[in-house]
Amino acid sequence: MQIENLTDLINKTNIRAFVTTNDFIKGKQYDKNKITLKSEKEKESLYSSLKVFSFEVDSETKPTYYDVTIILENNKEIVRTTCDCKAFRNFQSCKHIGAVFVNYYEQIFKGNIINVNKITNEILNKFIPKEESLIKKELQVQLYINITERESYYYYARSFMEYNVKILIGEDKLYTLGNHANAFKSAYETGCGEVYFGKNFTFIPEKYYLSNESKTIIESYLDICEGYFNKSISSSTLKNFLNKIKDTKFVVNNYQIEGIKDGFPIDTNLVKRNNSYELNFDLENVEFLIEKLTKFLIIFS
Ligand SMILES: [Zn+2]
């Protein structure tokens, strides 16, 4: 079977496993005078013979050139292509390789036969994205706020309130975010890197997605609690935090809160519904309400 034209090049060789359609088109438009065949070397091994073609391709835009290598097995199958340009580093295909094939396919293949089965698999591997990398899992997020009355260290028979925000994240088994919050914040915000929480959960940004509610909780926490990820926070910090997460579900001192509602009279701020409590918040008086809630919780717990 002869490789006589570009259609043959596409249909009869495994070029599509190595060059994207886009780079093939760009390669076709590339100035042929910018391409030089430097060498053609043969390497015999026990099972096959390899032919290594080295090209120099002048850049279209910069005063530089790129080294392109094409390796052919048994005069018919492309087994490897390389180029030292940035596009190749990122995509394992580039217009320089496209241009080399478009202009030198006759020298490269010399009219040889190719293995159709192998080509099909290589094309599939290259052009069908791996399913696993496309399916994202939902990151589970739970928020716990603990308000604890503590005895004062300084004054006898006086107490103060301690406010703690705790977030658990993971897939099935959930882990405390606090210990890893700085690393998590960096990975979450940049979309790169990974954070190991335990054997059942490593946070990899591209692997997970968050519901809107989880997103609100995570982003409010990373923003407002920074510097206090593993410590208690002030009442004003808690106020800011509650203001941001008021539409989400969370737990305060073991009571499930189904979201904070603005503008309700203070007296009806905590409503029991079935087995959970609904907290209706007037955010202007949040400190007063927390105090009230805390007392309520202390009385009923
Ligand atoms: Zn290149």
Question: pLDDT (tens digit, 9 = 90+) per residue, 27-57?
Answer: 999 999 999 999 999 887 777 888 999 999 9
Output the six-digit token pair for 245. 């997460």
Helix and strand totals (H; E) in the chain:
10, 15
pLDDT tens track for 213-249: 999 999 999 999 888 888 899 888 888 888 888 888 8
| 223: CB partners within 8 A, 6+ apart | 244
* Comparison of pLDDT for 255 and 107, the residue scoring more: 107
| For ion ligand 1, residues whose CB falls within 5 Å | 66, 83, 85, 88, 94, 96
| Closest by CA position to 51, among listed 79, 27, 24 | 79
pLDDT tens track for 167-196: 999 998 999 999 899 999 999 998 888 899
| Closest by CA position to 56, among listed 39, 71, 76 | 39
Q: Separation of 87 CA from ligand 1 center, angstroms? A: 6
Q: What per-residue confidence (pLDDT) applies to 181?
A: 93
148 pLDDT band (50/70/90 cuts)? confident
Output the six-digit token pair for 196. 């190991």
**φ and ψ at 5, to 5 degrees?**
-150, -175
Q: Separation of 34 CA from ligand 1 center, angstroms? A: 13
Q: Separation of 66 CA from ligand 1 center, angstroms? A: 6
Q: Separation of 101 CA from ligand 1 center, angstroms? A: 12
Hey, what amino acid is at 282?
D
Q: What per-residue confidence (pLDDT) applies to 216?
A: 94
Q: Separation of 11 CA from ligand 1 center, angstroms? A: 23
What pTM was computed for the model? Answer: 0.48
DSSP run (H or E) holding 243:
helix 235-245
**pLDDT surpassing 70 at residue 67:** yes
Pick from 8-12, 109-113, 281-285: least confident = 281-285
Q: Separation of 15 CA from ligand 1 center, angstroms? A: 15
Alpha-carbon Rg for the chain, nearest whole angstrom, is 32
| 146: CB partners within 8 A, 6+ apart | 162, 163, 164, 166, 252, 253
Q: Separation of 47 CA from ligand 1 center, angstroms? A: 30
